[in-house]
Structure 1
Amino acid sequence: MVEVNLWSGLRSLTGGKQVVEVEASTVGEVLSGLVKAYPQLKGPIDAGVSVAVDGRIIASGLTEPVSADSEVYLMQRLKGG
């Protein structure tokens, strides 16, 4: 299981949970696992999110590996400027 830390705006969609667990081995599986476990997260995820794994923002790597030891954060999409 991978622990995923959620930004505060999503917590109302997960029953107030700040950290949720999903079965996943890639960033793509993390996102699909979140939607499966919490269908109400589909809208925000489809609108675009940023995923950080072990302190690195994963720009477009849905195949980026994650493990039970990974530190995973789901954040609002970061926009460059």
Structure 2
Amino acid sequence: MATVRIPTAMRSLAGNQGEVRVAGATVGEVLNNLGRAHPGLGARVLDDQGAVRRYVNVFLNDEDIRFLKELDTPVADADRLTLIPAMAGG
């Protein structure tokens, strides 16, 4: 089970938890299982096609999954996924 860090702006969708433990062998499985456990949060992270939404960055440990194997990136029990909503404005 990986640890998923939930940003403050999304914590109300995860029972006000800052971190949750989620099973999955890949980033995609972890995020899908996160969505099953917390449907409102899942909809904010993944779009209808199952892809990570443009305004959400996902890091496995300290690496952006876009520079790894994206949703197919393998996840180990000790790994940490961090969800970071993109900031906009100027």
Q: 2:59 aligns with which of 22, 40, 52?
A: 52
8 Å Cα contact 1:3/1:19 also seen in 2: yes
Instruction: Give the structure-1-normalised TM-score.
Output: 0.85
Q: Does 1:19 align with 2:19?
A: yes
Provide structure 2 residue ranges, at least 5 long, that are not aligned to the other structure: 48-52
CA separation of 1:64 and 1:36: change in aligned 2, threshold 3 A: same
Gaps of 5+ in 1: none
The structural deviation recorded for 1:29 is 0.6
TM-superposed CA distance for 1:71, in Å, is 2.1
SS of residue in 2 equivalent to 1:62? helix
Report how many residues are paired: 79
Q: Which stretches of structure 1, 4 residues or more, deviate above 3 A after TM superposition?
A: none
1:7 alignment partner in structure 2: 7
What's the offset of the Cα at 1:35? 0.5
Q: Measured at CA, do residues 72 and 41 of structure 1 come closer, stay the same or move farther in structure 2, by a change above 3 Å?
A: same
Q: Distance in 2 between matches of 1:74 and 1:40?
A: 14
Q: Deviations over 1:34-80 (max 9, x none)?
A: 1010011132113512210120011161100111111211111478x
Moved more, 41-50 or 61-70: 41-50
Q: 1:78 to 1:26 in 2, by over 3 A?
A: farther
